[in-house]
Chains A and B, each alone.
Chain A
């Protein structure tokens, strides 16, 4: 949710969405190059991959690199089209139109990142359609306005194909509007570098954490919906860096959060002790 009362100055209405410092991003393949080309063509993009594998960090980095503001919105099932587009608000004088994050991005030329777009209800997701084809516009029906997208505007969505609900899959007609970049957990060496950098643990500990992570990922589809993410490994690293025993740290940040099943817990605890 965006903060409705956030100040927007007339000079730069999206100042708050500019990224000042370079975010740490460790490239894992050709993604930077490919994304730059996609942005140059203003191709709407879909970042595919499991949760916690670096999609959000990547788009932050790219927005910084391209010098564009980034408007991020985490989608959820209670979200309505107005949460994206905007709405009239009442105030003491009467009513006032408030742009939603999508409109803001389209109007002023930001990259708009809709995280986990499947979570939004299907009727909500279709409001993005006119922005994703040659029209590049956004009709504000209530306001009776047609917003032409700013030339810098680009729409990016994230999508986790591992999501196990057939009812929540993206409509084919939505998917086809996007170019897609595949994200996976990075290969061990790179993932260890990331875990080390983000949490401050030694390379040796980081490598072990990554091994544990890789092992848990073998169980995907065999009792786990998803293995441990890079994000979870970083969490474990944070605790270890604060002096917590690695086995306890893994238990708290990796094992307990991914399963409630006693047998699975036992097996995962055993996996952790195989490394620490």
Chain B
């Protein structure tokens, strides 16, 4: 809506650290999203899609806004950890629903503090209620919230005292949420008897870090006027969503794998040296793994080699020019890690030949009866690297999406990153190829080769990269199997497939998303058995679960900000192969 207040903190600036915070304390990968605060929706809210926080925030207490965000995330996480699945409101009146929210907020915070006592300090500083002033319901609710959060707070309002007393009673087992409803119901009746008005339209949860508590209740399609307004688009958090199956191992049980007959054309592909166009436009059938029956379906999917259309290679040079300084930094990194040049190490205990100066000195020592320095050799330290890398780019339709705030498509960023990575690999002297794929059902996995292993990274390769476009779907398994076969033909000691993708495997003829995931996982295992490492760079912030399933715990990175891919990818590569 409007420009952020001067001393406000913007969500975008703290998102990353909040995500780390959430992951560390609760092992939660819930997405963090921002929304534009309005009068109607001014508090955070929690949905199946993630935790929604205001775009920018400032706290009135003078506390830093980033602590406010942190308090909000911690509160939301406490709900996600301790709150029961959404309840039906049943006969609860709106005022009772509001009180139940106050009690539940206090309950989940207490439980979180049992494990992490320091959180109390984080939350309590946002409680500003005072034990005086008009005793409207809104006021009393805020005072109660503080009374339950801050043991040092004193309030002599009889209703607040009564509620506090009930909540703190030794009979209450905080771990069991069932006390909340009857307690809220009684306290709500008292409010009725005190003839206090409750206006559901204007009531807001306080303090500001607390969410609107919509996740506690099953949404009511037809809210009557008295009810708490619900945004239509707010999805309710499902009781068993997201993380629930995180721990499951996607190991297909039982049956032995049935290996199909050797795919037609396999022989030809084995000789897949990368020579001329004659070999192109081939189609190679591959098996696919069906996890439901634990069987490999022979020749189920067909990879079609598709020629890459060239465009103006100047576009690629433009990328290198634009990233001049980044390339210099990469250069420095490479030099610093001594990946490139063999070093002559003098005065070594062992070595390839004698260090003449040292030998002369040693002879002098021996002649004059002294103990000579035994380090007589020169060693050439080569840091032997014998590595072939196949960069495999996902070219599906979704790569045409614009990346927020950049005006660039996902594909453009992937291309840019690939160019910079290529520059790095070139400088190190690693052998590499750049290929890409997209799919249109199981009979048409298109496979494009932009740069071959044997090709220099020059005009032909650049023109093809410049002409790269995105379309269709992502059938990963077939593409990975084809890449594996091509890489097998390379003689290097170590081999790596580096997959860059923006989403999970999907295709028009596969309706169960798990099917293609399991198949891709299988393809990764097959590659590993062939001595090929597979590493995935995922551009899908929600990818954690399926990516780790497919590629294994350590063999992937999820980019939280796609726009930083070009600057990150070369560094990742250096680390991976150092």
Contact = CB atoms under 8 A, between A and B. Distances in A.
A92 B370 contact: yes
Nearest to B18: A267
Q: Chain B interface secondary structure, helix, strand, loop or mixed?
A: mixed
A266 B27 CA distance: 17
Nearest to A217: B24
Interface string B528-568: 00010101000000001000100001100010000000000
B482 to A, nearest CB: 21
B266 interface: no
B494 A270 contact: no
Interface residues of B, number: 49
B496 interface: yes
B259 interface: no
B350 A80 contact: yes
Interface string B11-34: 000001110110111010100000
Contacts of A273: 118, 121-122
B314 interface: no
B356 interface: no
B533 A219 contact: no
Nearest to B20: A267
Instruction: Determine the interface band of chain A, counting residues with CB < 8 A from chain B.
Output: 35 or more
Contacts of A166: 494, 496, 533, 535, 576-577
Interface in A70-125: 80-83, 87, 89-92, 121
A270 B67 CA distance: 9
Given A266-B17, A275-B117, A90 B577 contact: no
Interface in B358-397: 362, 365-366, 369-372, 374, 376, 379, 384-385, 387
Nearest to B496: A166
Contacts, number: 106
A242 interface: no
Which of B16, B115, B548, B576 counts the most chain A CB atoms within 10 A?
B16
A25 interface: no
A271 interface: yes
A165 B576 contact: yes
A267 B21 CA distance: 5
B489 interface: no
Given A90-B366, A271-B25, A221 B117 contact: no
A167 B494 contact: yes
A271 B533 CA distance: 34
B172 interface: no
A191 B533 CA distance: 34
Given A165-B575, A167-B494, A263 B23 contact: no
Nearest to A272: B118
Contacts of A168: 578
A263 B575 contact: no
Contact of B553 (A216, A221, A263, A272): A221
Interface string A216-255: 1011011100000000000000000000000000000000
A144 interface: no
A266 B427 CA distance: 36
Given A164-B554, A166-B494, A264 B578 contact: no
17 contacts: A87-B374, A90-B371, A92-B369, A121-B384, A166-B494, A167-B387, A211-B115, A211-B116, A215-B25, A219-B23, A263-B17, A267-B17, A267-B21, A268-B20, A271-B24, A273-B118, A274-B25
The 9 A-B residue pairs with the shortest CB-CB distance, nearest first, are A267-B20, A263-B17, A274-B116, A274-B118, A267-B21, A218-B27, A266-B17, A263-B16, A215-B24
Interface of A: 80-83, 87, 89-92, 121, 162, 164-168, 172, 211, 215-216, 218-219, 221-223, 263-264, 266-268, 270-276
Interface of B: 16-18, 20-21, 23-25, 27, 29, 66, 70, 74, 115-119, 121-122, 349-350, 362, 365-366, 369-372, 374, 376, 379, 384-385, 387, 494, 496, 531, 533, 535, 544, 548, 553-554, 558, 575-578
Given A222-B558, A272-B118, 10 more contacts: A87-B374, A90-B362, A91-B371, A92-B369, A165-B575, A166-B576, A223-B23, A266-B21, A274-B122, A275-B118
